[in-house]
Amino acid sequence: MKNVIRITFAVALLAIAAIPSALLAQHDGVIQTAVCREVQLRAQAAVEAGEPYRNKGQLQKTAAHVVDAAQSAGEIDAACASCILSQFARGIPIAEQSACGPDAPPCEPGDCVNRTPCVDTTETCVEPVCAQTTEGDIICIEGLAPCGELLECTESSACPPGWVCVTTFCCNKYVCISPALICGGATE
């Protein structure tokens, strides 16, 4: 049974590797979305975290694990998965891989009515939203943070060590945000 799975996986990777790079640029839809790009970045990060690999197949399996999970969850379609996996199958170094979609737009702080979502590449937050610290940094934080339980502040130095004071957030007051509530997503 394991040999059948390995052979099926190997054939699938060879088929993906045979797709000319010119076709990848012609895909419409999901490939052109920031979500596809974010899945690609997650796959690249997973591959880099697992280095060194004994062989190319292990590297491809690591990337496929991330991409398959995203496709099963409905985040991406087969065209996006093909764009990402074919580059690993052809042995293109990560630094030279073509983007499978645009990078996510910069985080813009919102308010309680206009909560701007942000990209959380580590998937640590349930509802990541953009916020601004008193120092002017834009950060991605957990949008489900309970306002009543957060400390009020006027600047980050008034918060516990490592925490930041956030000015633009749904709580309608300046609040201290713990490192646990800061998502692994985009910051400016």
- The pLDDT of residue 78 is 92
- Choosing from 45, 66, 96, the residue where a domain stops is 96
Same domain, 110 and 159: yes
Q: How far apart are CA 107 and CA 87, in angstroms?
A: 28
Same domain, 92 and 162: no
Question: Is there a cis peptide before residue 52, judged by omega within 30 degrees of 0?
Answer: yes
Same domain, 183 and 123: yes
Same domain, 84 and 110: no
Assign 97 a pLDDT band (cuts: 50, 70, 90).
very high
Same domain, 76 and 137: no
- Choosing from 69, 96, 123, the residue where a domain stops is 96
Query: Which structural domain range is residue 156 located in?
Result: 105-188
Same domain, 50 and 133: no
User: For residue 59, how many other CB atoms are within 10 A of its CB?
Assistant: 20
Give pLDDT tens digits for 33-58: 777 888 898 899 999 999 899 999 99
**Most confident of the ranges 15-19, 40-44, 136-140:** 40-44
Mean pLDDT confidence for 58-66: 94
Same domain, 134 and 151: yes
- Choosing from 68, 96, 124, the residue where a domain stops is 96
Give all strands of the β-sheet with 138-142 in edge-to-edge order: 138-142, 128-133, 164-168, 175-177
What is the number of alpha carbons within 13 Å of residue 68 lying toward its C-beta? 9
Same domain, 58 and 7: yes
Assign 186 a pLDDT band (cuts: 50, 70, 90).
very low
Same domain, 92 and 7: yes
Same domain, 7 and 92: yes
| Start-to-end Cα distance in the chain | 49
How many domains does the chain fold into?
2
Q: pTM here?
A: 0.49
